[in-house]
Homo-oligomer: A and B are copies of this chain.
Amino acid sequence: MRIAELSQRSGVSVPTIKYYLREGLLPAGARSSPNQASYGAEHLRRLRLIRALIEVGGLPVAAVGAVLEAVDEPDLPMYKLLGVVSDSLYKPEIPTDDNDEWLRARAEVEQLLVQRGWSVPECGPAVETLSAVVVKLAELGYAAWSSEMLGHYLEAAERIAEFDVGYVLRFAEREAVVDGVVVLTVLGETAFAIARRMAHQQVSARMLGVEPNDR
């Protein structure tokens, strides 16, 4: 198909498609004449993936580029691909420190990971962010709560991951598995965050005896 049809079918404007082509997010079409290229179903699909990562996942264009580069790397182990995905997902820039509080928080987080049987990642960002949560909880007077809360969250996250990864492993081809893991990690993160916020509303209304839709 020509670029106009690709635009019409994907809902992405021609200038935006050209921008993705220049940035290397979308592979070039097959040249059909000096001024024309033709695009196939794989371009349409890639375009939809790009839009989903940006619109629902909230990824900036540069991060989408890094994720797609990892997706296209046939020999990259899955956990490394997921590391790229994880690093590219939105997270606030959290200032960290090296004082006693922080050292205690990191030790607490690492102990929880070990207890769960997870290998403590060498790459620090995830541990740093969880440590920041522990430090902030302590500052706000919830020091006694952080281990129980994080332990519970890690367990719940593992159950969700088993469900997600179990689903994509039904696919026979590596390409489909990789695609599925990326989609479920990114779109699922948005979905789960929303589900959790709604659940806090529903559960607190129920536990406090008020109907959420009461006015």
Contact A55 B95 (CB under 8 A): yes
B residues near A204, Cβ cutoff 8 Å:
78-79, 82, 161, 165, 181
State whether A136 touches B187 (Cβ < 8 A).
yes
Q: Chain B interface: which of A13-21, A25-33, A124-132? A: A124-132
Partner of A196, one of B55, B78, B161, B211: B161
Any B CB within 8 A of the CB of A24: no
Size category, A interface: 35 or more
Q: Is there contact, CB below 8 Å, between A191 and B57?
A: no
Q: Please determine whether B145 and A201 come into contact, CB atoms closer than 8 angstroms.
A: no
Smallest Cβ distance from A134 to chain B, in angstroms?
Answer: 9
- Minimum C-beta distance from A26 to chain B (A): 15
Are B94 and A198 within 8 A (Cβ)?
no
- Over the window 183-215 of chain A, the binary record of Cβ atoms lying under 8 Å from chain B Cβ atoms (1 yes, 0 no) is 111011111111111111111110110111110
Are the C-beta atoms of B56 and A86 separated by less than 8 Å?
A: no
Chain B neighbourhood of A90, CB < 8 A: 58, 90, 92
- Closest chain B residue to A167, Cβ basis: B145
Pair A196/B52 contact, Cβ less than 8 Å: no
The 8 Å CB contact of A188, one of B79, B149, B169, B184, is B149
Given B92, B164, B211, which contacts A56 in the complex, CB threshold below 8 Å?
B92
